Each structure stands twice: as C-alpha cells, then as structure tokens.
Structure 1
Amino acid sequence: MFYGGLRTGDARRYSAFLHVCILAIGLRYADKSDPGIQEFIGDASESVIHQKALWIARYEAEGRCDVPAIQALLLLGDLKFGVGRYNSGWMYAGLASRLCFDIGLHQERSESKLSEEVVHMHHMVV
C-alpha cells in the first residue's frame, strides 16, 4: 500500500514524513562502515535522516491526521526511544495514539463503505 501510494501520489497511503521515518529506522541496520552511509550518520545519537524526520514533524506534518502520519509518529517515537530520549518517545507515541482516536481507528470498520484494503491498513495500524 505504501509503494502504491508513492507511485500514485495517494496521500492516504503515502507521505514524505512516513518515508523519511522509514529511512531513519532503516539506517539503524545499515553497514556503518560503508562510506555512502557515513554521510547520513551525523552525531552519535541522531542521524541526519532522524533530524530531518524531526524537522518534518515540527513544520510540515502539523495538522495531518491520517494513517501515514500516525505510522510516522510511531516510528519517530521508536527512534527517540532508541537514542535514550524516553520522554520524547512517549510524547510521539502518545500523539499517534491520540490521532488514532481522532480519526476513528478504534471503531469497527467491517460494515463501513471503506475498501477492504483500507480496512486492512487500519487494522494493521491499530
């Protein structure tokens, strides 16, 4: 669904914020000795991509209330936990949880007019 949204520009399935957060998580598992990767590492605690995700969260993602934003906030919370910033991690996880309720992800969707794919995506997020 993510790649389909990327190809078609469907904002219900893809966002640049989510994409950057996925890349930041992926950087954790990258070969740090690779010269191509070293330019993204930054300081010891936060990579350049992690910092970009934080910038997007502050300036571009404000006001977004959709599934990609929730997924990105959960990943950003995980990134914060990973560098020992537990209060910030809880803040992003809590914000994602709040957005779940704001858009009604806690409600049963089986009888709604949403497509099967969208219902499945909602169940995966919750």
Structure 2
Amino acid sequence: FWRDDWNGTFNGGRRLQHALYGLAAVALLRSKYKNPRVTAGVYYFSSHKGRQERVRIDAPGQAAIARVLGDLRELIVQGGFVHTPAKDNCKFCDYAAACGDDVHEQADAKLQDSRLAANRRLAAHV
C-alpha cells in the first residue's frame, strides 16, 4: 500500500505527523524518563487494501523539524497559499471543479515569485 512516490522523511513538507508525534512522545515521557528519545515511527496500514503493511520512518533530527516548521510558519504568516503545481496532488480533492483547468500551470508560474520562497523551501524538504 505504501507508494514509491512517498519518499523521504518529510515528503516535500507534506508528511509532518510522525515528526510531531515524536516531539509529543518525548515531551510526555520526560516526566518519567531522564532522556527519552524517539528513534523511528511506523505507519501501519491495517485495512485489507493496506495488507497490514508496516513502514518504518526514521525520526528526523530536531534541526530538520525546526526548519520544516519554520518554513510552514512563514508560509502561514505571509499568507502565501497557492495551488499545487502537481495535478496528482489533487487526485482525491472534492473541490477540483472549483479551480479551473489551468490552475496547476498558474501555480507553477506563481511559485517563481520571490514572496513565495517559504513555499519553495517547504516543498524541498525531503
């Protein structure tokens, strides 16, 4: 069930759950353990379609998490939200009809704007 295009730790800034859960686990475990550490997370696909597959994702370092969250924060503060330039990212969207036919090409052109540097950096996090 795991797709080959779900590469890397952060998958272009689209995969944050495991990193945030790791931070939360360490914070919760500090009350009981001196130096708790999370080394990895596991995605478990429990459905029939997922074939009970387990995929390990190594825990990212604190600096990597800080960079991703910093870029995400900057994007939110600046309000620099653009559509995705990749059509595949809209595969399961219920609102695709509202966007128009050339939305991905427009988004690709907009991403060159210097004000959207945080978007480009976020997409570059692997």
Q: Does TM-score exceed 0.5, indicating one fold?
A: no
Higher relative CO (Cα under 8 Å, sequence separation at least 6) belongs to 2
Task: Select the structure of larger CA radius of gyration.
Answer: 2
Of Structure 1 and Structure 2, the greater strand share is in: 2
